[in-house]
Structure 1
Amino acid sequence: MDTERLVAEGFRNILQSFNEFSVVAVAHDEATALRQLRRHHPHLVVMGLGAGGSGGVDTARAIRQDSRHVRIIIVASSQQPIYMREAFVAGANAYLSRDIGALELRDTLLTVHREGAALSAAAAGQVLELVSGGLSGDASPLALLTRREREILFLVADDQETHHIAAQLGIAPKTVRNYLSRIYAKLGTRNRLQTALYALRSPEFRKQSVAKT
């Protein structure tokens, strides 16, 4: 019995139940997936890793090279760090457990669609290790942050609450929390307090504070 096909059919049924999304194609191999991508130009791809994991990572890499606009969500039974790291290197935007519930899957898809990425606590650690390994000796993790992420980081360090930050930047509180998840992953911090302390100790924050006074 082809269990991977059964899993794919199960996920298709779940995805079709979400009003915000429609399933345009289902593919069971890399060549078919690439053909369907070129035909339908979807915004999101939900995929597994397959047996052993390496084949799925290769497929994710091929999808990223072929369709740079698409956002890739990997749903896998294995939560081993090596597979997570390889998936993110290949271009995945999210890495989820196959045990995820339907509502959490829907929320993750919405976050990836709107924000570009979604990180679980386990995946965040792998992203941190990945980006830390890619830094030069004197590079600061702050250099990894986007302009908006830096804005939010400094507002957090200034003891601003989430709803105040959202109002000041004209975005939703949930969007602020999504940005914070990515900031935690990039800086290697675990919570809001550690993140604020990290920023307060950084020379860039001190320079900004002096400029404001």
Structure 2
Amino acid sequence: MSSIKVLLVDSEQLVLEGFRKLLDGFTEFSVVSIAHDAAAALEHLRGRRPQIVVMGLGVPGTGGVDAIRAIRRESGHVRIVILSSNQQPVYMREAFVAGANAYLSRSIDADELRGTLLAVHRDGAAFTAATAGPILQLVAGRHRGDDAALSTLTERERQILSLVADDHETDCIATALGIRPKTVRNYLSRIYAKLGTPNRVQTVLYAKRSLGRQGGLATDP
């Protein structure tokens, strides 16, 4: 099994070297390049084609959130993991809305970092206890026609959305419903399109908010 290619982006050389050494200690990952700013990150993204970008918010030039948007425009499939010492909910929300797949503290331990990166690579998103609560609180009051959008989902899509809201991973959903993981991912793509959510992170938030208001989604077979 080939290793997961990672691009590290941060303004501080010591931070880059530290995380590179840490990730190189795991057999699952291969750091293919490092970058100090958004322009260099985009260049490495095109040349090295990483599967995961791990970056700080203090990226010189465009700034962290704009850098996330630029990376997302360049590659819709790359996973973006933010490492930041700033744990204020507003910064978390801005990062997720811009297209981040996970938001982690710089004080994260090695095992949690490894587990999060594997989850992001596998399922497209990962929440930690520190990020899930604040983000849900921020979006709780936002109404975007949830009822109308939910009514466009098929029965199977509503089943999958309900399981996603309960934080089940793709493989677990596939096992529970007796279908293949690839089929689950295809359903998720259609759910994203119908709900207007660009990725799994925002779909989880959307689903949790809707479940909270409606008291649950139908999951009958």
Same fold (TM over 0.5): yes
Pair 1:133 & 2:142 matched = yes
Which of 104, 109, 115 does residue 101 from structure 1 map onto? Answer: 109
Q: Give the Cα–Cα distance (whole angstroms) in 2 for the partners of residues 107 and 72 of structure 1.
A: 15
Map 1:200-211 → 2, pairs under 5 A: 202=217, 205=218
Identify the structure with the greater helix proportion: 1
| Higher normalized strand content (fraction of residues) | 2
Paired residues of 1:12 and 1:23 also in contact (CA < 8 A): yes
The one-letter code sitting in structure 2 at the alignment partner of 1:40 is R
Cα distance in 1 for partners of 2:16, 2:154 equals 35
* 2:206 match: 186
What is the rounded CA distance, in whole Å, between the counterparts of 1:101 and 1:144 in structure 2? Answer: 39
Q: Is the 8 A contact 1:127 1:186 kept in 2?
A: no
Contact persistence 2:38–2:59 (CA under 8 A): no
Check the 8 A contact 2:83/2:103 in 1, yes or no. yes
TM-score by length of 2: 0.67
CA distance in 1: counterparts of 2:27 and 2:155, whole angstroms: 31
Which structure has the higher relative contact order (CA within 8 Å, separation 6+)?
Answer: 2
Q: Does the aligned pair in 1 maintain the 2:32–2:48 contact within 8 Å?
A: yes
Report the counterpart of residue 40 of structure 2 in structure 1: 32
The 2-side partners of 1:40 and 1:145 are apart by 39
Cα distance, 1:145 vs structure 2: 11
Structure 2: where are the runs of 5+ without partners? 1-9, 167-171, 182-187, 189-199
Within the alignment, does 1:121 sit opposite 2:141 as a pair?
A: no
Contact 1:48 1:76 (8 Å CA) reproduced: yes
In the alignment, what sits opposite 2:100? 92
The alpha-carbon distance between structure 1 residues 165 and 82, as it changes in their structure 2 partners (threshold 3 A), is same
Question: 1:46 and 2:61 equivalent?
Answer: no
Q: Give the structure 1 partner of residue 175 of structure 2.
A: 166
CA distance in 1, matches of 2:11, 2:38: 17
Contact 2:161/2:207 (<8 A) preserved:
no
Instruction: Say yes or no: does 1:79 pair with 2:99.
Output: no
Taking the aligned partners of 2:141 and 2:150, their CA distance within structure 1 comes to: 8
Aligned alpha-carbon RMSD (Å): 4.2
Q: Percent identity?
A: 48
Q: Secondary structure at the match of 1:106?
A: helix
Q: 2:55·2:81 contact (CA, 8 Å) conserved in 1?
A: yes
Name which of 12, 15, 20 aligns with 1:7.
15
**Does 2:77 correspond to 1:69?**
yes
Q: Which runs of 4+ in 1 moved over 6 A?
A: 140-146, 181-184
Question: CA shift at 1:17, angstroms?
Answer: 1.0
When the two structures are aligned, how many residues end up with a matched partner?
187
C-alpha separation between the residues in 2 aligned to 1:106 and 1:20?
Answer: 9
Indicate if the aligned counterparts of 1:145 and 1:186 stay in contact, CA closer than 8 A.
no
Aligned residue type for 2:105: S
Distance 1:107 1:18 in 2: 11
Larger Rg: 1
